[in-house]
Amino acid sequence: MHKTIIIGTGPAGLTAAIYLARANMEPLVIEGWQPGGQLTTTTEVENFPGFPEGILGSELMSNMRKQAQRFGATFKTGSVKSVDLSKRPYTLEVEGLGELQAESIIISTGASAKYMGVPGEQDNIGRGVSTCATCDGFFFRGKKIIVVGGGDSAMEEAGFLTRFASEVRLVHRRDELRASKIMQDRAQANEKISWSLNRTPLEIVAGDKGLQGLRVRNNETGEEELLAADGVFVAIGHTPNTGFLGGQIDTDEQGYILVKPGTSETNIPGVYACGDVQDHTYRQAITAAGSGCMAALDCERFLEAEAHKNASITV
Ligand code: NAP
């Protein structure tokens, strides 16, 4: 039986692992088939404090992992299929590892950016296709960018990208935006943003010299056209990775785990959530790391209180 199992190895899970390991709590960290989380899909990270020259996302995650190992965290590879949170110790069914039990759990499984699923999209991730303007916008200084989506994220990303790009074109599949009025107004007032509404994305087109643009269908006329761009930012939402919880933890309507304000506590005692799986607002490596630290401290206090309770009962 483990004192704590941490599920997920993005900045949130690894920071929780560093803190718990350093407090001698010997956490077991379950890393999935894409260890390191979303940061490993970006190239350089330039906004994580402490790295004035920037650092590769994969290197940052590898460093955090080593730091956790140095203090005694154990890592095992597997995919958590289900959990039983009806009684303690909690049980996890892990593909590749079998059944594991833990007194407490930290959930840091992140959120996955949604993709359009069109040809050319997956092949060009990191080569002009991105799902994170904050991470990659800087690389498109003076370039032409397309942002796909009609929600708040698309409006926000488009606005942010106008700081770098020569032109930002918002492409949305309907003629009506989903974004809130204030975000729409802000984007519409921005002279650097042009609009291609009622266009269904069909294909990301790339050649030897890099990305050429996005092929779309005009839903009114049925005609297809290639919208030229050096970069395509897909901003059509995220999906929190909470499916394995089977509805045992309270979430909001989009599936993000609800934590008690100012803590990492879920509705289940001894189960904590940190990082993007409980945050659809900030979604930054540094905020994820900060919430991972909170989860470790909350978890440590819980285990100490439980140990104290059990000792009192024995006496
Ligand atoms: P969202 O509201 O679900 O919007 C996703 C957009 O992408 C929709 O316009 C949708 O089109 C489009 N879309 C979905 N699948 C597509 C596909 N396969 N191809 C092309 N387009 C596709 O997601 P979001 O914008 O990420 O926002 C998520 C939540 O976070 C919202 O509650 C939002 O308010 C919040 N948020 C808030 C802020 C802020 O307040 N600063 C910033 C970002 C996000 P349809 O409209 O046709 O369905």
Ligand 1 centroid–CA 118 distance in Å is 18
**Ligand 1: which atom is nearest the Cα of residue 116?**
18
Q: How confident is the model at residue 149 (pLDDT cuts 50, 70, 90)?
A: very high
Q: How many structural domains is the chain composed of? A: 2
**How much is the pLDDT for 313?**
67
- What is the extent of the structural domain holding 148? 115-234
CATH number at residue 203: 3.50.50.60
Average pLDDT over residues 107-135: 93
Residue 40 confidence class, pLDDT cut points 50, 70, 90: low
Query: Which of 202, 234, 266 is the C-terminal boundary of a domain?
Result: 234
Which among 218, 213, 195, 45 is positioned nearest to 129, based on CA atoms? Answer: 213
Q: How many CA atoms lie within 13 A of 145 on its CB side?
A: 34
Q: Of these residues, 136, 152, 276, 298, which one is catalytic?
A: 136
pTM: 0.78
Q: Which domain-ending residue is among 234, 269, 289?
A: 234
> In the predicted model, what is the mean pLDDT of residues 25-30?
97
274 is catalytic: no
Distance CA(210)–CA(288), nearest Å, equals 32
* Those residues with Cβ within 8 angstroms of residue 21's Cβ, 6 or more apart along the chain or in another chain: 27, 68, 69, 70, 71, 72, 73
**Co-location of 228 and 244 in the same domain:** no
Please say if the pLDDT value at position 34 is more than 80. no
Helices (runs of H) and strands (runs of E) counted in the chain = 6, 19
pLDDT for residue 215 is more than 60: yes
Tens digits of residue pLDDT in 57-95: 889 999 999 999 999 999 999 999 999 999 999 999 999
- Together in a domain, 175 and 210: yes
Co-location of 279 and 297 in the same domain: yes
Compute, in angstroms, the gap from residue 238 CA to the centroid of ligand 1: 8
